[in-house]
Amino acid sequence: LKDQFDNLDKHTQWGIDFLEKYAKFVKERIEIEQNYAKQLRNLVKKYCPKRSPKDEEPRFTSCIAFFNILNELNDYAGQREVVAEEMGHRVYGELMRYSHDLKTERKMHLQEGRKAQQYLDMCWKQMDNSKKKFERECREAEKAQQSYERLDNDTNATKADVEKAKQQLNLRTHMADENKNEYAAQLQNFNGEQHKHYYIVIPQIYKQLQEMDERRTIKLSECYKGFADSERKVIPIISKCLEGMILAAKSVDEHRDSQLVIDCFKSGFEPPGDFPFEDYSQNIYRTISDGTISTPKQEGMRIDTKTTVGKAKGKLWLFGKKPKPQSPPLTPTSLYTSSTPNGSQYPIFSIEPVHYCMSDIKTGKPRIPSFRSLKRGLVSYYFCLQGPALEDFSHLPPEQRRKKLQQRIDELNRELQKETDQKDALIKMKDVYEKNPQMGDPSSLQPKLTETMSNMDRLRMEIHKNEAWLSEVEGKVAARSDRRHSSDINHLVTQGRESPEGSYTDDANQEVRGPPQQHAHPNEFDDEFEDDDPLPAIGHCKAIYPFDGHNEGTLAMKEGEVLYIIEEDKGDGWTRARRHNGEEGYVPTSYIDVTLEKNSKGA
């Protein structure tokens, strides 16, 4: 390599270029990591839910697991940022600094090599000049010697010419000797410098360049390792993130989610009843029994006038049935409240928005369960039109209302506990101020203490009011459960009490309200028709709260008044009742305590 200075120059330059090329590669990898982390964070932000009220927080295990996965993915993105930061600091930054130092060192070594080469070239020129001068003087001396010999042999030459030629010869010979000595000295000096250049200076410079190139290679090796270590350091944390995602996936419980759906939408309403039997064959027997539709009763069977239903709903008119009476209309604007003994306000609604549907449900035959569902939907829609949710959640189904009230009671209890702790702290601070007046004025705490006591009283009143509502709802739910159990028993009894024509039997132990039947009357085709007989009572109720009953079709009642129940609540919140004097109408189910009789005669 002693004569490969230019090739070494090119090789070291290639080494620096390769170092910078790798640094550029690391820089682009850092940008990829940063963009990847940024895109992951944007993805998490896009699908992460906004802050929502407490009631709207996700409760399903699948949703909670997904949000946990998003959190783990956000942590994973943070680790990608750590990788990018570590690569930028440990690899890319170090490479750029080392590249700058490498360029400076290479430049210095190449300058030293060029200087040594220039010095050697200068020595060679000096030696060459002395050589050429020596050669020229030798030729001049030879010419002077030839001239002297020619004049010395010439007989015609004078002695002066011969002496002059001899002196010229001696001068040229002397100058040739001096140039010879100078050439010898320059040659010896050049040989020495050349030996020093190729055996001492250049090897030393080349050795420095070699060490520099080896350090560059070692630095690249360290950067390769650092590049991998930056990734390997975050692998444990990334593994924990992935394990968290797996745990989130395992936490999904389909049974719990199903139970949450049940709890969320459970209304507490009773399911629709069975379809009544519709006997269309009774018209066949019209001519058999003196204009009556039903078959003649067997002798010895007593007909109870209080429980006969056929006359109440089944009279025939000239071209079919008598038009059914309309259910009480209910106006959307008739929203008012009635005071209760505990001071709370209960909303009372009329039912005009569902008048058409109610008329079909109350009097139409057959009873179609879809009408009942439609009626409930319209009532719910009517409640939605009234504005924000009511304070006692009476716009909700019983089960949902109970849950909401229980949640509010729990929140009020927590607030009451906070206020109680604050009151205790203020009392202790006041005692400290009284014992040590220099720490503060005890009277300054009195306004805060009074405010806290007031808040506690207000919270207790709120808790008492909500507990009263909760007790009412739980009582209604229990009553519904008892009524459902009673209806199940009565349903079994009803199977054997209808005649083929759909009329009622006279058995006192089996008389339960059934589907309306048609009975003929001797004067049913007269110009004037007699009024319907009253419906049989299926139970009784006691008014818990007073009800004004201003709307058409409703029945006013006083607190503690006892009424007959002639038609149950079908889920719309209204029960049909009758006074002792025969006045009938609808009353709110939540205002009465209902007791159904297994035997209608007992009512």
Q: Averaging pLDDT over each range in 257-271, 416-430, 492-506, which range is the top one? A: 416-430
Q: How much is the pLDDT for 396?
A: 77
- Does residue 438 have a pLDDT over 80? yes
Residue 31 has pLDDT above 70, yes or no: yes
Tell whether the model's pLDDT for residue 512 goes beyond 60.
no
pLDDT band at residue 597 under the 50/70/90 scheme: confident
Give how far Cα 155 sits from Cα of 149, 151, 198, 288, Å. Answer: 12, 8, 60, 200
Q: State the pLDDT at residue 239.
A: 95
- Per-residue pLDDT, averaged over 475-494, amounts to 55
Window from 24-28, 449-453, 465-469, 480-484 with minimum mean pLDDT: 480-484
Q: Which whole number is the average pLDDT over 191-197? A: 90
Higher-pLDDT residue of 518, 100: 100
pLDDT level of residue 435 (50, 70, 90 thresholds) = confident
**pLDDT over 90 (residue 11):** yes
Residue 184 has pLDDT above 60, yes or no: yes
Could you tell me if 130 and 176 are in contact, meaning their C-beta atoms sit under 8 angstroms apart?
no
pLDDT higher than threshold 90 for residue 247: yes
Mean pLDDT, to the nearest integer, of 492-502?
Answer: 39
What Cα–Cα distance (Å) separates residue 145 from each residue in 134, 139, 165, 169, 174? 16, 10, 8, 5, 12
327: confidence class by pLDDT, cuts 50, 70, 90: very low
Q: What is the average pLDDT across 198-220?
A: 92
Selected residue with higher pLDDT from 120 and 384: 120
Q: What is the mean pLDDT of residues 502-513?
A: 38
Q: What is the pLDDT of residue 54?
A: 56
pLDDT given at position 364: 42
pLDDT at 575 over 60: yes
**466 secondary structure, DSSP code:** H
At residue 546, does pLDDT exceed 60?
A: yes
* Mean of all residue pLDDT scores within the chain: 75
| Percentage, residues of the chain above pLDDT 90 | 33
Residue 502 has pLDDT above 80, yes or no: no
pLDDT of residue 244: 94
Give Cα separations from 45 to 50, 97, 146, 335, 549 (angstroms).
9, 38, 109, 46, 56
Name the DSSP class of 88: I
pLDDT of residue 590: 87
**C-alpha pair distances (Å), 547 with each of 106, 355, 382, 446, 594:** 105, 21, 21, 46, 15
Average pLDDT of span 331-356:
40
99-103, 129-133, 338-342: which has the minimum mean pLDDT? 338-342
pLDDT higher than threshold 60 for residue 374: no
For residue 581, the model assigns a pLDDT of 87
Q: State the DSSP code for 444.
A: G
Helix locations, 329-368, DSSP H? 355-363
| pLDDT of 503 strictly over 50 | no
Q: For residue 303, what pLDDT is reported? A: 40
Which residues are CB-contacts of 571 (< 8 A; sequence separation ≥ 6)?
A: 269, 270, 372, 375, 376
More confident of the two residues 434 and 286: 434
Residue 536 confidence (pLDDT): 84
Tokens of 595: 């007791």
Q: Containing H/E element for 567?
A: strand 562-567
3-state secondary structure of 556: coil
Who wins on pLDDT, 152 or 258? 258
Which range scores top for mean pLDDT: 75-79, 311-315, 390-394, 475-479?
A: 75-79
Which of 38-42, 205-209, 302-306 has the lowest average pLDDT?
Answer: 302-306
- Identify the band that residue 78 occupies on the pLDDT scale cut at 50, 70 and 90: very high
**Residue 257 near residue 73, CB atoms below 8 Å:** no
Mean pLDDT of the 70-98 span = 94
Q: Give percent above pLDDT 70 in the chain.
A: 70
Q: Looking at the predicted structure, is the pLDDT value of residue 221 above 90?
A: yes
